[in-house]
Amino acid sequence: MLSKATIKDIQSLQHKKFRNESNLFTAEGPKVVDELLTVGNFDCEQVFATAKWKGWQDENLLATIGEKVQLIEDFELEKIASYTTPNQVVALFKIPKFLSIKAEKNSLTILLDSIQDPGNLGTIIRTADWFGIKNIICSDNTVDQFNSKVVQSTMASLGRVNVGYTNLEKWVEENHYVPLFAAVLNGKSIASRAPIKEGVLMIGNEANGLSQGLIEKADEQITIPRLGGAESLNAAVATSIFLYELTKR
């Protein structure tokens, strides 16, 4: 039986302040938890699971985390999960120390300026994983990568993509040894551009786009041709299209 104090502590991890204080974040559901445990990029602190979840697990995996698994009932799971229909397991993982991210030669890096929606960030991380992109650098005011909605939206890609936060204009100045591509509404059509081998794709805020300072530092302004009347594209959707066009062979 989970104590009231344990339930309160786990619930508090829905807030960035308490995640930072405890250096822990939560992941929910077999798909996300199982992959994060398998990838092993995050140290597991504790797993709260139903007997059904444990019964489906690989014996080797259980052997490595067995002492960290606490079996609970469905009604207890509902108290600690952030979703209204919790699914078998909630796990606590340690937040790693931030490692500085540099733009890599012969590789593509994503830069995110003031992305606010957790679903957008999670989808962008998942999309980066699909296209084999390892590094994402974010402005300090971009939504936290360990927000529970971000974690769920990544579908465990969070364990394969490095995400860092910093002052973007300073970072751009220090990493401008590769080309900078600014995603804007009125730039060069991405459809007419050849794929690239290296660079930084800069994606802006959902409502306001990239800051003017970042646009001015770009080597090239690129856009997705608009055929209809929509004012703009969702940030995650736009990122997916840009990545496809920039990396296709």
N- to C-terminal Cα separation, the chain: 55
CA–CA gap between residue 143 and residue 149 (Å, rounded): 10
Query: Where residue 85 falls among pLDDT bands split at 50, 70, 90?
Result: confident
- Contact predicate 65/47, CB 8 Å: yes
CA dihedral 225, 229, 230, 233 (to 10 degrees): -10
**For 158-170, how does the pLDDT look when each residue is reduced to its tens digit (9 = 90+)?**
999 999 999 999 9
Tokens 């999960």, located at residue: 81
In angstroms and rounded to an integer, the radius of gyration of the C-alpha atoms of the chain is: 20
Q: Is pLDDT of 130 > 80?
A: yes
pLDDT for the residue numbered 83: 83
Checking if the pLDDT of 249 tops 80, the result is: no
pLDDT in tens, 97-113: 877 899 999 999 999 99
- Per-residue pLDDT band for 10 (boundaries 50, 70, 90) equals very high
Asked if the domains at 4-94 and 108-247 fall in one CATH topology, the answer is no
| pLDDT mean across residues, the chain | 95
Q: Is the pLDDT of residue 196 over 80?
A: yes
Contact 139, 165 (CB under 8 A): yes
User: Which of 16-20, 61-65, 152-156 has the lowest average pLDDT?
Assistant: 61-65
By DSSP bridging, strand 162-166 and strand 24-28 are unpaired
Instruction: Tell me if the pTM is above 0.85.
Output: yes
Rounded to 10 deg, the angle between the 235-247 and 118-130 helix axes is 10
- Residue 145 confidence (pLDDT): 97
- Distance from C-alpha of 225 to C-alpha of 24, rounded to nearest angstrom: 42
Confidence of residue 84 (pLDDT cuts 50, 70, 90): confident
pLDDT band at 58 (very low <50, low <70, confident <90, very high): confident
Q: Which residues touch 58 (CB under 8 Å, ≥6 apart)? A: none
Residue 51: pLDDT band with limits 50, 70, 90: very high
Domain topology for 108-247: Alpha/beta knot (3.40.1280)
List alpha helices for the chain, DSSP H. Answer: 4-12, 16-22, 30-39, 51-55, 59-65, 74-80, 118-130, 148-154, 168-174, 212-217, 235-247
- What residue ranges do the domains of the chain occupy? 4-94, 108-247
Q: How confident is the model at residue 40 (pLDDT cuts 50, 70, 90)?
A: confident
Give the confidence band of 13 by pLDDT, cuts at 50, 70, 90.
very high
Distance CA 167, CA 139 (A): 6
CATH fold of the domain at 4-94? 60s Ribosomal Protein L30; Chain: A; (3.30.1330)
